[in-house]
Structure 1
Amino acid sequence: MADDYENEITNYYSLKSVSRKMFDLISKQLNVKTTYVTRKGKRAITVLSSFNEDEEIITEGYSVEYGETYCRLIITNEGSTMKTKNLMTDSRTRELEVTGELKIKGFLGVTLKDLKGNVFGTLCVMDRKEREFSEDDVNYLHSIAGIVSYH
């Protein structure tokens, strides 16, 4: 049991380390101000690591009940992806408490899976401005998610 705990902590630091290096690349490639990685718990989604270019929007440790998250929409989507030009006007997200709290518009998120294919969290980008994400953007973020998931 102690070994399992040590493995979880080691994996967390490895993920956090690699994600921070990737955030700069992702932000520049997708032209967004915020990038973050979450972990899905039994009842909530928690931000493990985040990058906020101009202002702190999503902080590490930020946690939201699973049913009220964008991550739920990503994880339950057949394509393991969710994107929207404007979270505040999108019918799937405009009523979520987190939308009113964060006041974010452009959003793209993809699932993170462990080596056995089990979803353990998400990799997301967001911006206060409206954003149109292309299929190339989606494919890019899925590729990065594969690398981040490995760690």
Structure 2
Amino acid sequence: MDESSRLNDLYDHEILDTNPEENFDELTQLASLICGMPISLVSLIDKDRQWFKSVYGIELKETLRSDGFCHYLLDGKSSLFEIKDANNDPRFKHSPLVEGNPYISYYAGAPIKSASGNVLGALCVIDRKPNSLNDNQKQALQILARKATNYLNTRKALLDQQKNIELNATRLKQILDNTPGVIFQLRIQKDFEISFDFISKGIKEIHPDLTYENMKANPISFLNYIHSEDVDGFRKSMRRSVTSLSSYKYSFRILLTGDKTKWYKVRATPKRMDDGAVVWFGTLMDVSGIMEYETILEQITFDISHVIRKPLTTLLALNNTLRNHDELSETDLREYADMIDIVIKELDVFTRKIDQFYQLKVADHHNRT
């Protein structure tokens, strides 16, 4: 027997010094009733003690390991360990548990094992006088011990599963908290009372006064930071999304210190829950740079429609002139060539400006990423 491995196995079950559990208490009660014994225990063997997960018929929490009986099952060789009269057994007659309370005379125990096969303890029945079990009672005690084994291993599997869920939830939260922008789950009740089920820590990047705690405690206060010209549209579009369960998109400005603002876009997918509430699964992203580019692009579009009109008009006129004249003098050709050269230069200046804008856009993108 590898005692170190066995103890590690026991500790991995995280059961020592835990509260009573009904499954184990029912087993000790059944064991006493079936075997006709006044005392029954689910005993788990620690390094220096035996601790009782369940106790029936006696007031006892634990004893010294060396004083007990259950540790004789730890080698895993026996399916039942029985002492018919401890007062006449040299191994036990001087034990404090035999000479004193609870005055053990009879003991029978069946091993409780881990999934890996280590004996962690025993389900045992005890009498204060010499006694014995018949074959059916011995078989029943072993069956109940296997039930205790199943409960123990199922309990550990559930604990492991819970740990994995908590670990994955923690990892997911860390990922979400480190994702650019804000990720949230917003619950909207029938009366339009709102609350955040979850909101990532990115909320603090939007405004110095916005924190995770503030948004959880008073989510409606977020409206106080939206530009007054955008609040009404935000509210109306939000209600439309909740009513129609349509995907939500809205761009708005957040008021910063002074007259400064930043553009944000919220996107959310609504889902109606069984209680009638609508839950939004969404994101909130800083789109100030995009809005600036859109403004510049609008200006470029305007420039294209106006600035390029002159060279295009000139080119069309030259093309028409050249088509309608079969013979042109050298002077005419030079004049037309000069005019074409002017148009080319104007177009070149304009295209260079456009190229400079895109180069700035690319550089800005690299700096942001």
Same fold (TM over 0.5): yes
The question of whether the paired residues in 1 share the 8 Å contact of 2:105 and 2:130 is answered with yes
Q: Which runs of 5+ in 2 are unaligned?
A: 1-10, 152-369
Match of residue 27, structure 2, among 10, 15, 22:
22
CA distance in 1, matches of 2:130, 2:12: 41
Letter of the aligned partner of 1:113 in structure 2?
Answer: K
Q: What is residue 93 of structure 1 aligned with on the other side?
A: 92
Letter of the aligned partner of 1:40 in structure 2?
Answer: I
The question of whether the paired residues in 2 share the 8 Å contact of 1:88 and 1:103 is answered with no
Secondary structure in 2 matching 1:112? strand
Q: Computing the radius of gyration over CA atoms, which structure comes out larger, 1 or 2?
A: 2
Q: Which runs of 5+ in 1 are unaligned?
A: none
Q: Deviation of residue 69 (structure 1)?
A: 1.7
Secondary structure in 2 matching 1:88? helix
Identical amino acids, percent of aligned pairs = 20
- Say what the alpha-carbon RMSD is for the aligned residues: 2.5
CA distance in 2, matches of 1:70, 1:7: 22
**TM-score, reference length from structure 2:** 0.35
Aligned pair count reads 139
Q: Deviation of residue 77 (structure 1)?
A: 6.7
Structure 1 residues 113 and 76, CA gap change in structure 2 (3 angstroms): same
Letter of the aligned partner of 2:34 in structure 1?
Answer: Q
**TM-score, reference length from structure 1:** 0.78
Provide Cα deviations, 1:14-51, integer angstroms capped at 9, x if missing partner: x8321211222221111011101111112221112100
Does 1:103 find its partner at 2:103?
A: yes
Q: What is residue 116 of structure 2 aligned with on the other side?
A: 116
The question of whether the paired residues in 1 share the 8 Å contact of 2:43 and 2:52 is answered with yes
Structure 1 residues 89 and 6, CA gap change in structure 2 (3 angstroms): closer
Letter of the aligned partner of 2:44 in structure 1?
Answer: R
Bigger RCO of structures 1 and 2 (CA < 8 A, at least 6 apart): 1
The question of whether the paired residues in 2 share the 8 Å contact of 1:85 and 1:133 is answered with no
Q: Deviation of residue 106 (structure 1)?
A: 1.8
Structure 1 residues 129 and 8, CA gap change in structure 2 (3 angstroms): same
The question of whether the paired residues in 2 share the 8 Å contact of 1:110 and 1:145 is answered with yes
Between Structure 1 and Structure 2, which shows a larger proportion of strand residues?
Answer: 1
Secondary structure in 1 matching 2:73? helix
Q: Deviation of residue 121 (structure 1)?
A: 1.0
Letter of the aligned partner of 1:90 in structure 2?
Answer: D
Letter of the aligned partner of 2:149 in structure 1?
Answer: S
Q: Deviation of residue 148 (structure 1)?
A: 0.8
CA distance in 2, matches of 1:117, 1:6: 14
Q: Deviation of residue 7 (structure 1)?
A: 6.3
Q: Deviation of residue 6 (structure 1)?
A: 9.9
